[in-house]
């Protein structure tokens, strides 16, 4: 079986990171990896903070955060006035959910490709308010047109207070046609939250082109920012309704500052985040995207081959820039959350490879990412050793 050629490596890219060289880090998507230059920039900011904490927090910090926010929003093609910094995508989703003032009879609609922690947040908000959570099943093989139709017929105007769709799904590494989904929801008057946790740095689509009411994205995954750096972008008609999870001193400053200012937190990650974009730009944004997507596709094919999965049965991501790919595991393997965690740990311990394993709709999947620090032989090694490990049960 012919496997596609892996991409040319980006010379020296691995040296930009402080990753343990004895491990194959094939799961950039879960927690990212922070380049050394970004770590250093954050450390310099921490040094400044510790040299005089009073001065750091009370003289100009709100403006420095606003400056970083404008930088990040511009990169994402988002309106800086409609963008607020938050700690992570999960927090951004929770901010939106609790700002909706849900009531009994209201419903929140998601798909069955949604992120687990966001689903738990929906469940809690529904439990608190008497609203209900309805999940739309979307087959893994659905075409974009079918996905849009499932959503169009799955909304109940007047009752559906929010639709949450993922731009790139976590358990299934599937790109959803979010702009088209937003358009059909808008026809029915249903607001949409796009969970774009993986989009910043990976996907070329701008936030404005998606056109959602709410859009959350993590900079700490594919945009090389320090962890704890995410944005929530809000359409003009919603901005005044958005409330922070915790009220603090900037409450009367309105959106976006009242969401951002959360008292004595460590804001150095946000201030250093533009250095992540600088690193990405120095490597070449398009070059990094093309490299990562091609390497993930290569990894999917070699590991799929090793597990006997025919190329036509390997799930397609739905777009060229996607740097995460799925390989179906043999039936019965890693179908539950516990089993998936156990297998991921076993692969990490025995094969020195970090991967993502998720059970989705009764089937276990291995998810592989491609990043500039990865090389084809890391996927080759996993492919050689994984079948034996799975056979050992």
Ligand X SMILES: Cc1ncc(COP(=O)(O)O)c(C=O)c1O
Positions that interact with ligand X (CB under 6 A): 30, 88-90, 115, 117-118, 166, 170, 195, 197-198, 218
Residue (125 or 195) nearer to ligand X, CB: 195
Residue (174 or 301) nearer to ligand X, CB: 174
**Separation between Cα atoms, residue 151 and residue 181, nearest integer Å:** 7
- Distance of closest approach, residue 119 Cβ to ligand X, in angstroms: 10
Q: Which helix (H) or strand (E) is 278 found in, with range? A: helix 268-283
Residue (229 or 383) nearer to ligand X, CB: 229
- Distance of closest approach, residue 122 Cβ to ligand X, in angstroms: 12
- Distance of closest approach, residue 296 Cβ to ligand X, in angstroms: 15
**Separation between Cα atoms, residue 206 and residue 228, nearest integer Å:** 21
**Separation between Cα atoms, residue 221 and residue 366, nearest integer Å:** 19
- Distance of closest approach, residue 90 Cβ to ligand X, in angstroms: 3
- Distance of closest approach, residue 267 Cβ to ligand X, in angstroms: 17
Residue (225 or 271) nearer to ligand X, CB: 225
Angle between helices 268-283 and 36-51 (to 10 degrees): 150
CB atoms within 10 A of CB 35: 26
328 contacts 365 by C-beta, under 8 angstroms: yes
Residue (232 or 242) nearer to ligand X, CB: 232
Question: Phi, psi (5° rounding) for residue 195?
Answer: -90, 100
Residue (35 or 114) nearer to ligand X, CB: 114
258 contacts 252 by C-beta, under 8 angstroms: yes
Integer-rounded Cα radius of gyration of the chain:
21
Q: Which residues contact 294 (CB under 8 A, 6 or more apart)?
A: 4, 6, 7, 370
């Amino acid at each position: 079986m012919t496997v596609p050629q892996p991409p040319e490596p980006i010379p020296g890219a691995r040296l930009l990171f402080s990753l343990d060289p004895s491990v194959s880090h094939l799961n950039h998507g879960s927690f990212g990896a922070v380049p050394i230059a970004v770590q250093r920039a954050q450390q310099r900011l921490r040094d400044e903070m510790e040299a005089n904490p009073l001065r750091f927090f009370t003289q100009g910090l709100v403006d420095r955060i606003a400056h970083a926010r404008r930088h990040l929003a511009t990169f994402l093609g988002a309106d800086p006035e409609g963008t607020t910094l938050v700690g992570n995508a999960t927090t951004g989703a929770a901010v939106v959910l609790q700002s909706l003032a849900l009531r009994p009879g209201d419903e929140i609609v998601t798909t069955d490709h949604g992120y687990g922690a966001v689903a738990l947040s929906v469940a809690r908000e529904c439990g608190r308010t008497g609203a209900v959570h309805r999940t739309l099943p979307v087959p893994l093989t659905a075409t974009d047109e079918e996905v849009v139709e499932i959503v169009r017929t799955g909304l109940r105007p007047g009752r559906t207070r929010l639709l949450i769709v993922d731009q790139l799904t976590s358990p299934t590494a599937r790109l959803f046609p979010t702009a088209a989904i937003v358009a059909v929801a808008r026809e029915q008057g249903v607001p949409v939250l796009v969970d774009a946790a993986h989009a910043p740095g990976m996907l070329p689509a701008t936030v404005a082109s998606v056109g959602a009411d709410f859009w959350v994205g993590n900079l700490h995954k594919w945009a090389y920012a320090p962890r704890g750096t995410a944005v929530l972008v809000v359409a003009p008609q919603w901005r005044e309704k958005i409330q922070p999870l915790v009220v603090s001193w900037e409450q009367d400053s309105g959106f976006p500052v009242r969401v951002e200012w959360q008292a004595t937190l460590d804001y150095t990650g946000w201030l250093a985040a533009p250095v992540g974009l600088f690193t990405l730009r120095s490597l070449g944004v398009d070059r990094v995207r093309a490299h990562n997507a091609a390497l993930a596709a290569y990894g999917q094919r070699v590991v799929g081959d090793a597990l006997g999965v025919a190329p036509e049965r390997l799930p397609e991501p739905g777009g060229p820039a996607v740097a995460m790919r799925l390989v179906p595991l043999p039936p019965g393997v890693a179908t539950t959350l516990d089993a998936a965690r156990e297998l991921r740990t076993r692969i990490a311990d025995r094969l020195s490879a970090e991967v993502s394993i998720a059970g989705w709709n009764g089937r276990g999947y291995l998810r592989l990412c491609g990043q500039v620090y990865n090389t084809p032989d890391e996927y080759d090694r996993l492919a050689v050793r994984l079948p034996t490990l799975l056979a050992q049960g």
